[in-house]
Amino acid sequence: MTQKKRKTKFFTRVTKEEILRVYNIGESIGSGNFSVVKLGKDRKTGEKWAIKVIRKKGMGNNLRMLENEIDILSRIDHPNIIRLKEIYETKEKVYLVMEYCDKGEIFEDIVEEGFYNEEKASKLIYKILMALKYLHEQGIAHRDLKPENLLLSGQNKEIKIADFGLSKIYSEKIMLQTACGTPGYVAPEILDEDLNSYGPKVDVWSVGVITYIMLCGYPPFYNENTNNLFKQILSGEFEFPEEDWSKISEEAKQFISKIFIVDSSSRMSVDQALNHPWILNHNPKKNK
């Protein structure tokens, strides 16, 4: 008697052999605490996919993060957001078949180039903002935007937002409360113990950090001591050092300054950022 395939919230249980009949799973192209990302190839079409293989054993609360990521990725479809094709589950592992970004992380690209010129940075930030606009309209906050979670794909290096493990669905009635994110990119309202909740503008703050790094090659807030770093962020104190920023336009500096406002109610929204002159001037046709 054949055993019935067990259906869970998101996927159907299969065997590894069944997966290997569909995909050739090759070399590792990335790794995490409980996962490894391998290069997969569809045996029928030859198309390449990134296959995230997650060990279920020992995941504990991280299993909830995985389910959350799958739930969100299953809801969304945008050209600048990584696409989830399908999900498999075996007895020991979960396999996420995702869009393969052959040019790697934007972090590596910035390290290689040192920094971007304003036109390139503005065009990339525009695409990130458009993806965020889409997410926020769906009631989804990413909460962990950083260069390591921005991937590049194809000859034109199309940007894709990835890693939705810390993302959260919210509404006007249900605001966000969990302290999360990556220290140098986290918004002050997430760190402020006196605030009971925060909203999607935490993603805009992260865009400000990413923009700053793109234009000069280093972060606006930095301290080896995490507590001191958080104090910097909570105060909103940052600088545009003359030696690196003298040739950068006032519009670019103003764009960043309007994001690094500690009071989120006064900070630019995604829509306001999209309509800022620094974005409009480098993306004229797209914003008409």
Q: Which residues are catalytic?
A: 144
Q: Which residues of 45-80 are buried (b: 16+ CB within 10 A; e: fewer)?
A: eeebbbbbbbeeeebeebeebbebbbebbeebebeb
Residue 85 marked ligand-binding: no
Picking from 174, 164, 171, the residue whose alpha carbon sits closest to that of residue 71 is: 164
In this structure, are residues 95 and 66 in contact, taking their beta carbons and an 8 Å threshold? no
Q: Which residues pair with 140 in a beta bridge?
A: 169
In this structure, are residues 256 and 208 in contact, taking their beta carbons and an 8 Å threshold? yes
In this structure, are residues 129 and 274 in contact, taking their beta carbons and an 8 Å threshold? yes
**Does residue 52 sit in helix, strand or coil?**
strand
Tell me the angle at which helices 118-137 and 201-216 cross, rounded to the nearest 10 degrees.
Answer: 170
Tell me how far apart the alpha carbons of residues 119 and 279 are, in angstroms, rounded to a whole number.
9
Q: For the chain, give me the number of helices (H) and strands (E)? A: 11, 9
How is residue 116 written in tokens?
A: 């971007």
- Other CB atoms within a 10 A radius of the CB of residue 266 amount to 9
- Annotated binding-site residues read 56
- Annotated binding-site residues for ATP read 56
